[in-house]
Chains A and B, each alone.
Chain A
Amino acid sequence: MADATATILASGEAIAARRRFRVLRKLLHHRSFMVGFIIVLVMVIAALAAPLTGVDPNRMAIRFRFRPPQENWWFGTDQFGRDLFTRTLYGAQLSLWIGLSVAVLTGVFGAAIGVLSAQFRRLDSLLMRVMDALMAAPAILLAIGLGAALGPQTHSVIIALAVAYIPRTARIVRASALVTRELEFIEAARVAGASSMRIMFKHLLPNAAGPLLVQSTFVFAYAILAEAALSFLGIGPPPPAPSWGNIIAEGRQFAVQSWWIMLFPGFAISLAALGMNLLGDGLRDVLDPRLKVEG
């Protein structure tokens, strides 16, 4: 008897492993996933390689201000003679760090709120009304208000954007968990005496992992765009932090003569958001194929 159970468990694990392998193979053959993956990988390498330029991103050199892109200054220099190539690379560090933190915070809190409200019906209406209230104002506006109240710092931007995006993630996890909850194996688990905790974390959450991962990827992309917009409005990490939004905001008044100042950080933002969006599209096609992009 014990042997038979062990065999069934082992074969179950083998099936799970094979499924994971199949998902991986599908992703490797998915065009937009691979393009997005390569873009994001290049971005991460660029961010990590920032110190290799050997230049301080905030070092001013008035003698060399407003230099157009050329041999020593690939992206040119700004109104203080700072090297824009170095600043854009350090900007990648800041942007990816904010994007990642917002995506992780949103994922963790969104998952917890979603699963809790699916499991405990009494909590559900309270939690969902709070989520509705957070979604009442446009997300970017909520982030602007919160960011302003928390002060212009990197961590306030992260908190503000996470709070703005948690409700949508929570709703997605809740919707998925509500479907899972009605399946027979949950009933079986309950009959077998599984606690609510076990049902939530062992069954409801893993079954919502696909949509959660897809949503988190898109949140990453939104966060990069929103952080740039907040910095541009003066609510992001304060100058001289080399955030892409800051560089564009500072370069804007010189844009007619020195177009390069605001051009390259804008490309960087677009490329980062594009990469994450492509990655998300690919993940969605493979993990959550309700909204297909390819095929």
Chain B
Amino acid sequence: MYRGILMRLSQAVPVLLIFSVMVFMLMHLLPGDPALAIAGPEASPEAVEAIREQLGLNRPLIVQLLEWFSHIAVGNFGESLTLKQSVVSAVAERLPVTLSLSMVSLLVTLPVGIGLGVVAAYWRNSWIDACVMVIALLGVSLPGFWVGILSVLYFSVSLGWFPPSGYMPLTEGGFWPWFSSLIQPAIVLALFQIGFLARITRSAMLDVLDQDFIRTARAKGVDEWTTVAKHAFRNTLIPVVTVLGITLSLLVGGSVVIEQVFALPGIGRLIVQGILNRDYPLVQGTMLLFGFAFVVINILVDIIYTFVDPRVRYG
């Protein structure tokens, strides 16, 4: 068991190295002189030179790369040019917002997505199944940011049920103001994931329901609820857990866009602001942190997987 986890961790090392090089190269993809691109078209030659000096762009590429690695190794993910703070502290400040949004959204996604998939599979080819599949299809086809704007227009502006934008920290306003500032974006964000998860769950459940052990359970007189809840559902969870990593990745990716619609001061907004202000070190550092976080999350998902499905062992 522990050997398996160790092996999985050792596979992550080259992935992180390659990912770091890719993010490093991002700044050098900028058309022309990166210092000039960062400083902007109106900058004086001195300002351009200062940026070149500050970011070490006047040194050979290989030196810059080695320095990049040595900084990452000690947890230094760079300095923002516009915020006058380190990337790590800028991200740490905004992390609670993105994390709250993702978690509330995940709490909506999991029961609804899995529930819809199970219901659709159990009553396959009925009108219930058809309705669920239409909902799932709309979920993966409607653009979240557009649904978000329409939702603000109706539920916040017309009905006044929710604040139209902004975030209330849990520590400041207590649970309800925090929750009501998040529930609308969280539901909008959940729509895509629900569609995705409902389709996966449905097809997994259909596979399980066709298996011999389900027929055996029914034949020996196990009641229908136990058959479905205990035998079928638990086996359905196996493929569902595999896509948990993808679901989280979609969720955080989606929140980058949704934060912009609801003016939530999270990491997504940080990145978009960074791009608009040409604060490339900030964008690079944030992407790097995201990548590292997801490599760790995927390892955790793999470890959970071995507990859910004892047949899987690291070889």
Contact = CB atoms under 8 A, between A and B. Distances in A.
Chains A and B form a bound pair: yes
The size bracket of the interface on B is 35 or more
Contacts of B256: 138, 140-141, 144
Name which of A138, A151, A233, A270 has the most chain B CB atoms within 10 A of its CB: A138
A248 B137 contact: no
B291 interface: yes
B275 A259 contact: no
A221 B141 contact: yes
Contacts of B19: 133-134, 136-137
A136 B29 contact: no
Contact of B125 (A235, A252, A278, A295): A295
A248 B142 CA distance: 14
A270 B290 contact: no
Interface string A249-260: 000100110010
Contact of A277 (B15, B29, B140, B249): B140
B22 interface: yes
- By secondary structure, the A interface counts as helix
A264 B283 CA distance: 33
B133 A293 contact: yes
Contacts of A225: 141, 143
A253 to B, nearest CB: 10
B296 to A, nearest CB: 10
Interface of A: 129-130, 132-134, 136-142, 144-146, 148-151, 221, 225, 228-229, 232-235, 248, 252, 255-256, 259, 262-263, 266, 269-270, 273-274, 277-278, 281, 291-293, 295
Given A145-B283, A232-B260, A281-B137, 20 more contacts: A129-B18, A137-B19, A138-B250, A138-B253, A140-B254, A140-B256, A141-B252, A144-B271, A149-B26, A149-B27, A150-B29, A150-B31, A228-B146, A235-B275, A256-B153, A256-B157, A259-B153, A269-B146, A277-B140, A293-B199
Interface of B: 14-16, 18-19, 22-23, 26-27, 29-31, 125, 133, 137-138, 140-146, 149-150, 153, 157, 199, 203, 206, 249-250, 252-254, 256-257, 260, 271-272, 275-276, 280, 283-284, 287, 290-292, 294-295
